Amino acid sequence: MAKDKKKKVAVLMGGPSEEHEVSLLSGKNILAGLDKEKYEAEAIFIDQKGNWAIKPEDLKNKFDIAFIALHGPYGEDGTVQSILEEVMMPYTGSGVYASALAMNKFLSGQIFKEAGLKIPPTRLISKINWLKNKSAILKDISLYLEKPWVVKPNNQGSSIGTTLVKDFSQLEEAIETAFRFSRFVLVQKYIFGREITCGVLDFGFAHSISALPPTEIIPLGSDFFNYQSKYDSKKNKEITPAPLADSLISAIQKTAMTAHRLISCKAMSRLDMILGKDNNIYILEINTIPGLTEVSLLPKAAQAKGISFQKLLDIIIFASLKKLH
């Protein structure tokens, strides 16, 4: 391909979320992985205060597409998507609505539940209500949700601010911790079972959605797949494809594709689940911008299906440009 035909890609990385450092790793990996014969890529840094290295309105004068490598709030919740749409800059991945919905674990969970998919029994707590009715909320949880509990911010990724609570005496502190990262907190019944994640890709048009091989995640030295386990390969064991019966693999993939459609995701998503001891699949959350670092799950699952990282990036860009037409 001639040099002047190369697509110019702005890789947006950094950002003001708690996942700033992970975003930098994803961005760096994307820059290294993009096919040099097809793309001219440049890093566009967004600092922890939300300041851009280049004004968003100037992106279109220099680039064909923005590759969003931002994780967590701001990058994954519809904020940066809104900024890019305002300046009519094409970007990778899901749109404003899908991004905001996926980042809101409670709302997306209700959509999954109404569609007949399973989620853990859940309570949503607002900070205002917590400050007014702390004792009543704690009593409600103890009466109506079987312990142990998982306490998490409603709109964070990478298990940031998440605590597994085994005893009532630890519950208040866990909720306070989660409120440091969000104005809304989820308390869910802990589902005993196997941690599974499944990536989904599409090519930007109807009927092109396909699921990647699911991965089983076995945390080493922790009770669940926490932040440390996610980014330290010595603290987890990941098996792709997951060692499950074909019928369960098929059910997991179908669930992941259904969730992708329900939220109106585009190009890519990754669904995190628990395969319960009852063999039911419980959805934990959907990610619209899964990690793209060297140790991330989506690239590893794509590799297991014979899709190189370079090809994966091609698919994401193709699908994202296709959705504009």
pTM (2 d.p.): 0.91
The residue ranges of every structural domain in the chain are 3-91, 101-118+191-322, 122-189
pLDDT digits (tens, 9 = 90+) for 229-240: 444 556 678 999
* Cα distances (angstroms) measured from residue 294 to each of 121, 257, 267: 34, 24, 20
Identified catalytic residue from 19, 77, 195, 202: 19
Which pLDDT does position 232 carry in this prediction? Answer: 55
For the record, the structure tokens of 147 come out as: 């312990």
The reply to whether 272 belongs to the active site is yes
Task: Check if 287 is active-site.
Answer: yes
Check if 182 is active-site: no
Query: Once rounded to an integer, what is the mean pLDDT over residues 138-152?
Result: 95
Asked if pLDDT for residue 267 goes beyond 80, the answer is yes
- Active-site pick, 18, 77, 238, 285: 285
pLDDT-derived band of residue 1, with 50, 70 and 90 as boundaries? very low
DSSP 54: S
Q: What number of CA atoms fall less than 13 Å from residue 6's CA on the CB side?
A: 16
In CATH, the architecture of 101-118+191-322 is 2-Layer Sandwich (3.30)
Residue 220: the pLDDT is: 76
For 268, phi then psi, to 5°, come to -160, 155
Does residue 182 register a pLDDT over 50?
A: yes
Condensed to tens digits (0 to 9), the pLDDT of residues 25-69 reads 999 999 999 999 999 999 999 999 999 999 999 999 999 999 999
Choosing from 64, 85, 123, 231, the catalytic residue is: 231
Q: One of 272, 282, 296, 320 is an active-site residue; which one?
A: 272
Q: Give domain 3-91's CATH number out of 3.40.50.170, 3.40.50.20, 3.40.50.720, 2.40.30.10.
A: 3.40.50.20
- Is-catalytic flag, 33? no
CATH architecture of 122-189: 2-Layer Sandwich (3.30)
- Residue from 233, 255, 234 nearest 300 by CA: 233
Contact 150, 120 (CB under 8 A): yes
User: Quick one: pLDDT at residue 323?
Assistant: 60
Tell how far CA 210 is from the center of its chain: 17
Rounded Cα gap, residues 20 and 231, in angstroms: 13
Task: Look at residue 155 and tell me whether its pLDDT is greater than 60.
Answer: yes
285 is catalytic: yes
- 294 is a catalytic site residue: no
Catalytic option among 158, 159, 236, 296: 158
Q: Which residue among 74, 229, 270, 320 is the active-site one?
A: 270
Of the residues 78, 157, 161, 291, which is catalytic? 291
Q: What angle do CA 160, 162, 165 make, to 5 degrees?
A: 165
pLDDT in tens, 69-106: 999 889 999 999 999 999 999 999 999 999 999 999 99
CA distance 218 to 225: 8
